[in-house]
Structure 1
Amino acid sequence: MLRTQLCPRTTKNMLKRLIPVLFLILCLSASPFAVLRASAASAAPSRIDAVLLIDVSNSMNKSDKNNIAGEAMKMFIDMLSTQGDKVGIVAYTDKVQREKALLQIGSAGDKQDLKDFIDGLDRGPYTDIAVGVEEAVKVLENGSDPGHEPMIVMLADGNNDLNESGSRTQSQSDQELFAAVDAAKQKGYPIYTIGLNADGKLNKNILAGLSDETGGKAFTTDSADDLPQILSEIFASHLKLKVVPVQSITANGSYQDVTVGVPNSSVLEANISIMSSQPVTAKLTDPSGKEVAIPSNDVLLSKSSSYSLIKLLSPEQGDWKLQVKGVPKDKIDINLVFNYDLELKIDALPSASYKKGDTIDIVSYLYSNGAQVTLSNLYQDMKAVLLATDTDTGAVQEIPLDNSGAEFKGSFKIKESHNYELKVRAEESSFYRESDVLKIDAKTGAVSTAPAATSRPAGEEPVQDKESSNTLYFIIGGVLLLIIAAVAVWMMRKQANRGFVGQMVVEVLDGNTGEKTYPQYKKLSGFRGKFTLHQLLQLAPELKESEKVVFTPGKNDRLLLRSSEGITVERSGRAADTSHGLELKSGDRISVPLQTVDKTILLEFLI
């Protein structure tokens, strides 16, 4: 039985365990190397926070009768990294049918949870685009990481179909949509729209307007079969990558060779998507001629009814041989998207002010994992230009940069006493990168913004800066130690009375009939300290066994689940270890099969 209060002895023991941890925090915060660690972390490759916004109204039955939309969305999820990308899902009609908060992907199981959610979506009557867009924006507002790249991917036919017997008017819907799009624009949430036009009734203007206003892109197609290709384009566009068409083949029943060229050692992942209407099998050989198992430690495989996705992790540079075998006469499309660990930065300008007639020397470098790339062949394989925009006139000058060494360099002459924006763009066949923007005011002679100088070696500071920084670190660290200790004691005392946030979606599956109850949304705010699953099920006598499952508040708005001996809790189809507390974050789904009755409790935690 879990205690609702901590006794003094327990509190003392916990403090004993906390003191070494707090001391470690003090040392780390006081260390001058903390700054270097933070800098390295900021150089990590871009992560995506994506909300998949899906119209599930009945009209989509005509536009997408084979549910290729769901398959395409699942392929998009498979293309994401398992190292921190987030995905949320909003399915709407004239209301939010189902929703999944942003889930941080850390494993193949997390991806499977998202794909299972998509498979479980049902159709409904009527359509109100504003409802979907507004909710997608809220999902990003509530869970997007400031360091990630947020985006909304919307799949719809662009037409509203409001319930005539309801109180909602088209004018109200339009006003709400305008407000939602404005919020997305202000917060930097680009909306990528995909319009299905199989029945010829697509409202292109609405969807194109959503994308134009928010900085996304609009795609249209007459065939749902094009969706996997479009989703690949969106994924690539958002991360400044390019889809590389490998080739299309007509299957002949035997293995056919396809060359996949990995251009350099900065490739984090190579996503090979194989689209076909019939099942395919594949073999893979690395550049040394060694056959590589699919799947294996460095080769991931995801399969569906319409695609296969092979993901190579940190692949060796060179030509890989892919062998594909399909059903005779089946058309197989193969595309390639690389994910790079590369950034492009402009060196700080040598002068703090410039005027008409001055010439500015521009130098730009590639960075991998926070370190400057010094391999000249990587620069030579790319084309780089300086994009100089006269913001007074709107004119853009494109100046080729020299790439003969381990840098991109060139010059720009200021022709007028105007404001200018300068940035470097470098690209090759599979990706492009853009640097930060330098803003120059040639009217007053000021460089209003500039990236940090890179000429000083990493970690080197002036002597006075080091001494004052170290003193400041120790002072701040001491204060933090006192604050953290005080907060820790206060938190332990308050643990027993902590409240809960969010809600639990509850369904009961009958093992005899296979029938499942309608989802019930149980708000958790009424519980304090702890509650049992039996309480959540309104103390139904036949489900008394569920009182062995106990929930307590966790950190960061999460739940901790513990269960007694004799009851099993499953996650992703496998029994979970709850002895030390199973942590549930928003979007997590679990099931609890009961032993005394042939029923399974299905739970999803949402915030």
Structure 2
Amino acid sequence: MLKRLIPVLLLILCLSASPFAVMRASAAPAGPSRIDAVLLIDVSNSMNKSDKNNIAGEAMKMFIDMLSAQGDKVGIVAYTDKVQREKALLQIGSAGDKQDLKDFIDGLDRGPYTDIAVGVEEAVKVLENGSDPGHEPMIVMLADGNNDLNESGSRTQSQSDQELSAAVEAAKQKGYPIYTIGLNADGKLNKSILSGLSDETGGKAFTTDSADDLPQILSEIFASHLKLKVVPVQSITANGSYQDVTVNVPNSSVLEANISIMSSQPVTAKLTDPSGKEVAIPSDDVLLSKSSSYSLIKLLSPEQGDWKLQVKGVPKDKIDINLVFNYDLELKIDALPSAKYQKGDTIEIVSHLFSNGTQVTLSNLYQDMKAVLLATDTDTGAVQEIPLDNSGAEFKGSFEIKDSHSYELKVRAEESSFYRESDVLKIDAKTGAVSTAPAATSGPAGEEPLQEKETSNTLYFIIGGVLLLLAAAVVLWMLRKKATRGFVGQLVVEVLDGNTGEKTYPQYKKLSAFRGKFTLHQLLQLAPELKESEKVVFTPGKNDRLLLRSGEGISVERSGRAADTSRGLELKSGDRISVPLQTVDKTILLEYLI
């Protein structure tokens, strides 16, 4: 079968390497911003005091609810002085995926010691191993900032500090900002450690001892990472009747509107669209998430205009409401008419908004925004802010090169609910060169510069040749992979004692050493008392999944129910199962991670 596919693969890859394919690829629409987030949580026993009301759990759940209904990725690392539990990046495709993440959070256990370096280092690895290059990576850390090492162990504070410094440097180099939420219920927060992590990596630091602060904190984190703004909505004091709150959707480029409602008492809500029609909560385009301390209403691709939210709470209860919009908008500077600029030249700057890769031509969107050209003289450090004209369906202005210096130019446009920044143009007036070209434009933005036209065909054929070589490499790689098919990922193993109720610390068993098949008994290092587990056999499945089969007299449970393994039980990343061993009254708990 593979031999018959090889010519087809080569043909497809050769076609993709043609100049025409390169031109099509350059015009491919960009999708909305996606987040790859690792939620990093301290689950040591000290958190029973610093987070006695489990604010961390509520924060993680609310953050998950605020993420897009589809496309974002979330991983979880729970640490003490070791990695207590871990969940690799899971791409959200449904409400069920979000619920799986919340169930994982509810199942986290405590441990006796704390080593911040262990958690940060593992969070960075999770992003390294699973983050999409086109997504926005981030780490959200919930902790009290204090280390508590095992005095009887060999680990020293100096070693921990060194590893933390290395992990932070890795996060900084790879562009992984760390947003910290310091939990301070007992007043023993080590604020300097957490703020240092955020400052070093380009994140932000927050402190709280109450769940009441969560909507504002998480909205700020979410907005900061995606270049959004939190839209203030006036708090209300409930009177037992429905009270009106206006939610203005400013334009048609809003992908999602996140309305978070925080109250210490139960709250009910009604929603009316801009036409005056009541919309059910939840419904196809309105999602509802609730917990013990918040409700989050998510409007999907909402109609532009004023929506009316009616909120009813217990009399005298304070109800806080936050609003964050998610946009599908990019800001790009049009291609410059010349490839060289020197002292005395004036550069005409034109910038456009793009939605899903298509240039936005609605002039009212531009007119609702304020745009400036930020020109930095990198020789002197001086920054010039030049207002841009927004009277049409574009932002335009000019910049005069006054000295033979190097300059960095970018456009920033903002309105009340979001802002966008263009890529940076680097102009070296000493040599006259534009060192990095602006993002490509399309549509009515203008013609391609002459020099770009002259060099584009050569560039296309060079890229085509490279892609042909890559095509051959891919085919050889596929053949080798087929011949040495093995396993990917790892299984997290815990053993629960049915007599004492004690559970071992999780062990992470990498599967790359196995080929063809392996048994659970092998994974358990052939422990004689667990010989019964040799009846559970794993083989490779399609799409990096595992297939499990069990022999007679042994059962496998998933989600508390016995699973049918006669034809092979398929496990994807994040799936959890348990295998009760009757002869020793122990249960093997397994989670598959990629």
- TM-score, normalising length: structure 1: 0.84
Aligned equivalent of 2:27, options 36, 40, 44: 40
- 8 Å CA contact retained: 1:262, 1:317: yes
CA displacement at 1:371 relative to structure 2: 0.6
Q: Deviations over 1:211-231 (max 9, x none)?
A: 121111122234343133212
3-state SS, counterpart of residue 426 of structure 1: strand
Greater Cα shift, 356-365 or 496-505: 496-505
Greater Cα shift, 416-425 or 506-515: 506-515
Query: Which residues in structure 2 correspond to 1:371-410 (within 5 Å)?
Result: 371-410=358-397
**Unmatched tracts of structure 2, length 5 or more:** none
3-state SS, counterpart of residue 403 of structure 1: strand
- 8 Å CA contact retained: 1:31, 1:470: no
Structure 2 CA distance for partners of 1:416 and 1:471, relative to 1, 3 Å: closer
Structure 2 CA distance for partners of 1:313 and 1:224, relative to 1, 3 Å: closer
CA displacement at 1:576 relative to structure 2: 8.6
- 8 Å CA contact retained: 2:347, 2:400: yes
- 8 Å CA contact retained: 1:63, 1:224: no
CA displacement at 1:124 relative to structure 2: 2.1
CA displacement at 1:75 relative to structure 2: 0.7
Structure 2 CA distance for partners of 1:488 and 1:419, relative to 1, 3 Å: closer
Q: Deviations over 1:409-459 (max 9, x none)?
A: 111122222211110001111110000001111222222112145367799
Whole-angstrom CA distance in 2 between matches of 1:505 and 1:442: 57
Structure 2 CA distance for partners of 1:301 and 1:548, relative to 1, 3 Å: farther
Aligned equivalent of 1:258, options 233, 239, 245: 245
CA displacement at 1:568 relative to structure 2: 9.2
Structure 2 CA distance for partners of 1:15 and 1:137, relative to 1, 3 Å: closer
Structure 2 CA distance for partners of 1:379 and 1:157, relative to 1, 3 Å: same
CA displacement at 1:86 relative to structure 2: 1.2
Q: Deviations over 1:35-65 (max 9, x none)?
A: 4653455611121111111122222222221
Greater Cα shift, 349-358 or 480-489: 480-489
- 8 Å CA contact retained: 1:278, 1:327: yes
CA displacement at 1:529 relative to structure 2: 0.9
Whole-angstrom CA distance in 1 between matches of 2:535 and 2:141: 42
- 8 Å CA contact retained: 1:68, 1:225: no
- 8 Å CA contact retained: 2:259, 2:323: yes
Whole-angstrom CA distance in 1 between matches of 2:581 and 2:456: 59
Structure 2 CA distance for partners of 1:580 and 1:171, relative to 1, 3 Å: same
Structure 2 CA distance for partners of 1:593 and 1:308, relative to 1, 3 Å: farther
**Unmatched tracts of structure 1, length 5 or more:** 1-13
Q: Deviations over 1:312-357 (max 9, x none)?
A: 1111111111122222222211111111110000112222222233
CA displacement at 1:391 relative to structure 2: 1.2
CA displacement at 1:125 relative to structure 2: 2.3
Whole-angstrom CA distance in 2 between matches of 1:96 and 1:120: 15
Structure 2 CA distance for partners of 1:374 and 1:560, relative to 1, 3 Å: farther
- 8 Å CA contact retained: 2:338, 2:449: no
- TM-score, normalising length: structure 2: 0.86
Q: Deviations over 1:439-484 (max 9, x none)?
A: 1112222221121453677999999999999999999999999998
- 8 Å CA contact retained: 1:341, 1:368: yes
- 8 Å CA contact retained: 1:57, 1:92: yes
CA displacement at 1:239 relative to structure 2: 0.5
- 8 Å CA contact retained: 1:422, 1:439: yes
Structure 2 CA distance for partners of 1:468 and 1:142, relative to 1, 3 Å: same
Query: Which residues in structure 2 correspond to 1:475-486 (within 5 Å)?
Result: none
- 8 Å CA contact retained: 1:30, 1:470: no
Greater Cα shift, 454-463 or 262-271: 454-463
CA displacement at 1:377 relative to structure 2: 0.4
CA displacement at 1:539 relative to structure 2: 9.1
CA displacement at 1:197 relative to structure 2: 2.9
Aligned equivalent of 1:183, options 161, 170, 173: 170
Whole-angstrom CA distance in 2 between matches of 1:436 and 1:154: 29
- 8 Å CA contact retained: 1:48, 1:85: yes
Whole-angstrom CA distance in 1 between matches of 2:319 and 2:116: 34
- 8 Å CA contact retained: 1:57, 1:93: yes
Structure 2 CA distance for partners of 1:301 and 1:20, relative to 1, 3 Å: farther
- 8 Å CA contact retained: 1:390, 1:420: yes
1:520 aligns with 2:507: yes
Q: Deviations over 1:51-89 (max 9, x none)?
A: 111122222222221101110111111111233211111
Greater Cα shift, 320-329 or 436-445: 320-329
Q: Which residue of 2 aligns with 1:10?
A: none
3-state SS, counterpart of residue 471 of structure 1: helix
Structure 2 CA distance for partners of 1:598 and 1:238, relative to 1, 3 Å: same
Greater Cα shift, 145-154 or 512-521: 512-521
- 8 Å CA contact retained: 1:26, 1:477: no
Aligned equivalent of 1:200, options 175, 181, 187: 187
3-state SS, counterpart of residue 130 of structure 1: helix
Q: Deviations over 1:352-382 (max 9, x none)?
A: 2222332221110000010100000000111
Whole-angstrom CA distance in 2 between matches of 1:546 and 1:459: 68
Q: What is the total number of aligned residue pairs between the two structures?
A: 594
3-state SS, counterpart of residue 507 of structure 1: strand
Query: Which residues in structure 2 correspond to 1:116-265 (within 5 Å)?
Result: 116-265=103-252
Whole-angstrom CA distance in 2 between matches of 1:575 and 1:283: 41
Q: Deviations over 1:373-404 (max 9, x none)?
A: 00000001111111111112212111111111
Structure 2 CA distance for partners of 1:497 and 1:395, relative to 1, 3 Å: closer
Structure 2 CA distance for partners of 1:99 and 1:409, relative to 1, 3 Å: same
Greater Cα shift, 527-536 or 545-554: 545-554
1:358 aligns with 2:334: no
3-state SS, counterpart of residue 360 of structure 1: strand
CA displacement at 1:511 relative to structure 2: 10
Greater Cα shift, 480-489 or 152-161: 480-489
3-state SS, counterpart of residue 565 of structure 1: coil
CA displacement at 1:499 relative to structure 2: 2.4
Greater Cα shift, 256-265 or 219-228: 219-228
Aligned equivalent of 2:75, options 65, 88, 95: 88
Structure 2 CA distance for partners of 1:36 and 1:286, relative to 1, 3 Å: farther
Greater Cα shift, 462-471 or 261-270: 462-471
Structure 2 CA distance for partners of 1:164 and 1:441, relative to 1, 3 Å: same
Structure 2 CA distance for partners of 1:165 and 1:498, relative to 1, 3 Å: same
Structure 2 CA distance for partners of 1:19 and 1:581, relative to 1, 3 Å: farther
CA displacement at 1:201 relative to structure 2: 2.5
Whole-angstrom CA distance in 1 between matches of 2:59 and 2:512: 37
- 8 Å CA contact retained: 2:337, 2:449: no
